[in-house]
Chain A
Amino acid sequence: MLQRIWKAHNLMDLACKDLPCSLNIMEVCGTHTVSIFRNGIRPTLPANLRLLSGPGCPVCVTDQGYIENVLTLAGRDDIIIATYGDMIRVPSKNGSLEKRADNQNVKIVLSSMEALDIAKQNPSKTVVFVAVGFETTTPATAIAVRYAAAENIKNFCILSAHKTVVPAMEALLSSEKAKIDAFICPGHVSVIIGSDAYNPIVTKYKKPCVVAGFEPMQIIEGIAQICSQVAAHAPKVESMYHAVVTPQGNVKAKAIIDEMFEPADGVWRGIGVIKNSALVLRDKFSEFDAAKRFGLSDGHPEDMPGCHCGEVLCGLIDPPQCKLFATTCNPDNPIGPCMVSSEGACSAWFKYGRRKKRENKQ
């Protein structure tokens, strides 16, 4: 392993030593962010190689309007909210699901099928599944809805905040807010969508895209691969995750997403509306769409005051540049979702980053 690490660092040094400015690589996925911090990778990189955390933490990019809608539904006695764990602590001006959890109508689940089980066990209530996540979790939601339709389970529906990764990467590049030179593309998502999905980023924007798994060695070698592409001025899509990522991805999973969902414009925290970046249930299945069933609108309430999650998610600032970081905002009292989610950049900086003694003593 040491030899591989040494070789990777050589490639990085070679590419970075003559660069006129910094090389900014965005790790799109929150799981990468956590792995990079947990393995202490940042301090080992060349000084002018910067890693930016991207919009790949599903909890973080879910906009405040969606959170408010979930909270509104949670306030009703005839509804049970079934949600993945990380979502319950996302704060809003009206509290969080966790604070409502004493109502007993907020249940943490690990899968969409569990939410369906809750619906079967509680025929007098409507179970709303908080359907959040990228292409990794969407197939499971699709299967649950298909099952509910086939079995005629009417007291089940989903509030979809499912999103697709590539449109967000394109939006970041075309907005030109942050200087992004290359992407480390998400491992799990790429298993589903396939590495070919990143071709437009290379052809249109000439940015290297390297898919990596979550092992530290994969990430280091992925960064090194990007460096050699930069040095050779030859951007392309590459995969370090050969074992599981194919160019086409998981055709079956993509088919079921396509069967149940269609693309729509989606609101992203910090980025705003991105064309065709959301997935909503097709009209055929609209009775399972909680937004339609309960007449919810896509309000755009403001983010929590003082919170800069939006800028963090676009790679514009590092979390310590937010004034609230480690002062009023910490994992016990998160102000924004990037501190709530275990995949969030603020939480990773807080947990694993070196901080001043004063902050450690708090």
Chain B
Amino acid sequence: MNTITKSLGYLALASTVLVGCVTVTDPAKAEKDKGPNDLEIAHIAYTAGNIDIRYAHLALAISENPEIRQFAELMVRDHTAVNNKALALVSKLQITPQDNPTSQQLSQRANDIRNELAQLRGDAFDKRYAANELEYHKFVNNAVENAFIPNAKNEELKSLLSAALQTFKAHEGHASSMNKKVS
């Protein structure tokens, strides 16, 4: 039941991401601007990476399981690399990523999960962390593949998102095998 509620949480968030988060006044414009714009995509993608880095740091502080720790180190390393690329692109294009309701909901939800994880120790922590990583990467990959890449207008942003998706899909695969090992 608990797990179902949690899945629903990501599901509700997913629909926000997919439908978009642009406040629309002109109905004609509404047709064109259904998805998030580039500045919002950049903000959401960066936020999503940072969230996973923070989960990982929590895991490195709490978990003693080598599998979990190795995975967490991978998350810090890879998401830092991807986010650094995003920052480099942002400064090259001289744009400012735009905060938006999706980023805010994502951060809010991540705070709740971090608080929940911080209470747990031992196997209970490892299982919850592993389950959340799998679910989180599935959610992010769905958003990147079906909302961000199709909506991105800037070609460099599009290609960075594609490279990021490859990375996150590899993580999803790792998370899946990590779940089998800790359960």
Asked if A and B bind, the verdict is: no
